[in-house]
Structure 1
Amino acid sequence: MSGVTLTVDDAEVMEALARFQAASGNLVPVYKNIGEELTQSTMGRFRAGKGPDGKAWTPLSRRTVEAKRKAGHSNAILVMRGYLSGTIRYQVDADGVQVGTDRPYGAIHQFGGDIQIPARQQEAHVSVRTEPLKGTRTGKDGKQKAWTLAAGTLQFRRRKDAGKAGVSARTLTIGDHTVTIPGRPYLGLSVGDQAAALDIIADHLTMAVPQLEVTT
């Protein structure tokens, strides 16, 4: 699983864990509850569009928004068919808990980076406009702007338009290029997560040693 390891190094928390381990000899139930809490917290970030630090994710480019709209996908950031947000899982062993996803593209969205796209050839269906086409679009400033496709402009068509009058297939060469993906961290510990982990440890410690008063 591609993910991050939860490491609690707060002195008070480590002392509480040590005391709980001495009392029960088994930290796995604690780690399991923390994993469940962090899984729900992480999935909530996809709905909020914010990282563990509370900062909003980098907005989608206008091209991406338009492509998602045409494909009928959600316009939410990091959500297309829900594969990434729907595969957040946790794994527990005697040493701790890991929260992450098995999606191979999970890391590039978490940390950001450059993807090298090699040159390739691709078949496209095109037609030549016989009449000008006019319309409007929303500019970066939010205002409507007019646009025009002049007669004689080459226009890309959908694959299902193949065979229609005026539509022809062409083989296009797309050069190698780099796509930069901004980091949009969804894994990690927020202030709320840290507080929840402390509460979980305190609850387990109180159950293991009822006469012990625990504060977090």
Structure 2
Amino acid sequence: MLDFVLSDTLSPAVERARKASIDFTPVMATIADYMRFGVLERFEAQAGPDGEAWTRSQRALAEGGLTLTKSGELKLSITADSDATSAIAGTNKIYAAIHQFGGQISRPLGKKTFGPRAPVTIPARPFLGFSVEDLTEIEKMLGDHIKAAFEGRS
């Protein structure tokens, strides 16, 4: 039988790492900010998390400018939040889903808001999500968090 005994000098490091693995609050805040920044970069790059370019909107084609930025409200609505076990970046704009996933909407014909409506297909322009690079960086952040605690740097 093989026994493994932690020395007194190693025990504090293991205890710090154990505590750090329970409370990820600091690293989750960093990850949430990283996620938010990634979403904001996608508005500038005009591409989804997979790097695929968005289909330009009719407005951007006609007037110039960037897709999903007519008023800037969607981009400005991107927020980040975190707690001890999770990180999130997103928006509270109800119309965000149609842009993220695409789909069909109907809008009035002409200037009247009542009456006949024409179906319009909105292509998916994903702005939320993770790239492969994002996932690699987040894994590194989590590993660095545990390593720093083990080494007494947190």
TM-score exceeds 0.5: yes
* Pair 1:47-2:47 in alignment: no
Structure 1 counterpart of 2:121, from 175, 180, 198: 180
Look up the equivalent residue of 1:80 and give its one-letter code. Answer: K
Structure with the higher fraction of residues in helix conformation = 2
Once the two structures are TM-superposed, the CA of residue 36 in structure 1 deviates from its matched residue by 0.7
* Alignment: residue pair count: 137
Does the 8 A contact of 1:91 with 1:97 survive in 2? yes
Does the 8 A contact of 1:119 with 1:177 survive in 2? yes
Q: Which moved more, 1:202-211 or 1:99-108?
A: 202-211
Look up the equivalent residue of 2:48 and give its one-letter code. Answer: G
Q: TM-score, normalised by structure 2?
A: 0.77
* Pair 1:99-2:89 in alignment: yes
Number of the residue aligned with 2:100: 110
Larger radius of gyration: 1
* Pair 1:22-2:29 in alignment: no
The CA RMSD over aligned residues, in Å, is 2.7
- CA pair 186-111 structure 1, distance change in 2 beyond 3 A: same
Does the 8 A contact of 1:121 with 1:174 survive in 2? no
Structure with the higher fraction of residues in strand conformation = 1
Map 1:102-141; keep pairs closer than 5 Å: 102-117=92-107, 122=112
Q: TM-score, normalised by structure 1?
A: 0.56
Once the two structures are TM-superposed, the CA of residue 116 in structure 1 deviates from its matched residue by 2.7
Number of the residue aligned with 1:84: 74
Number of the residue aligned with 2:151: 210
Once the two structures are TM-superposed, the CA of residue 196 in structure 1 deviates from its matched residue by 1.2
Number of the residue aligned with 1:159: none
Does the 8 A contact of 2:35 with 2:89 survive in 1? yes
Could you list the runs of 4 or more consecutive aligned residues of structure 1 that deviate by over 4 angstroms after TM superposition? 118-121
Look up the equivalent residue of 2:124 and give its one-letter code. Answer: G
Q: Unpaired segments of 5 or more residues in structure 1? A: 1-18, 124-172, 212-216
